[in-house]
Structure 1
């Protein structure tokens, strides 16, 4: 079971007004407009209609899903950058090896005696 399959509002003691404002903005980003004051009332155990509870549950689930998608996209981008870095380093090492071998062959041909 994932975290977003059983959404719950954090308790009122654990959230600050700033966090509630941020949560309200993220809820409006998924189509649920609930003011921060109302979120605080619901978190404190105040009476809420069934529609409000469904809206809060949906908004929590949707924002958690969006957050997980954003994290996975960032992880993919990071893996892509690491692979690119490894490729660049491998190319630089191979060029260095080829230049060293060329220099070695050039030095060896200079020390041979002409006929």
Structure 2
């Protein structure tokens, strides 16, 4: 499980402008509109207002939660596909066994005498 107690912005040396734009879009997806330039300033250590700090903390937590929900959804879908493939294979094997038994009975009945 993710540690929700201390969400942090990525530090400046690890965040490119592209990453900050993506982070800004993710924040907008959870209802927090902060431009990437301001995120970079906050990540570099520039003073942030209390409202900005609350918004960033909320947005980080909300995006982590959405990410975990998405991973959980994908995991469930994969398990469902594997389960379906197993059932399909079992049905295919059962049909094959029944056809072999039918062929065996047909061959055995052909070699019996009619009287």
TM-score by length of 2: 0.95
Structure 2 unmatched runs, 5+ = none
Paired position in structure 2 for 1:46: 46
Give the distance between the partners of 1:4 and 1:19, measured in 2 at CA. Answer: 21
Give the CA RMSD over aligned residues. Answer: 1.1
Tell me if the contact between 1:4 and 1:65 (Cα under 8 Å) persists in the aligned partners: no
Are 2:60 and 1:60 equivalent residues in the alignment?
yes
Paired position in structure 1 for 2:23: 23
For the residue of structure 1 that corresponds to 2:32, the secondary structure is coil
Cα distance, 1:51 vs structure 2: 1.1
Give the distance between the partners of 2:17 and 2:29, measured in 1 at CA. Answer: 18
Paired position in structure 2 for 1:108: 108
Paired position in structure 2 for 1:80: 80
Are 2:32 and 1:32 equivalent residues in the alignment?
yes
TM-score by length of 1: 0.95
Give the distance between the partners of 2:114 and 2:31, measured in 1 at CA. Answer: 86
Structure 1 unmatched runs, 5+ = none
Give the distance between the partners of 2:4 and 2:28, measured in 1 at CA. Answer: 18
Work out the number of aligned pairs and report it.
115
Moved segments of 4+, more than 6 Å: none
Are 2:10 and 1:13 equivalent residues in the alignment?
no
For the residue of structure 1 that corresponds to 2:58, the secondary structure is helix
Cα distance, 1:19 vs structure 2: 0.4
Cα distance, 1:4 vs structure 2: 3.2
Provide Cα deviations, 1:70-115, integer angstroms capped at 9, x if missing partner. 1101111111111111111100100000000000011011111232
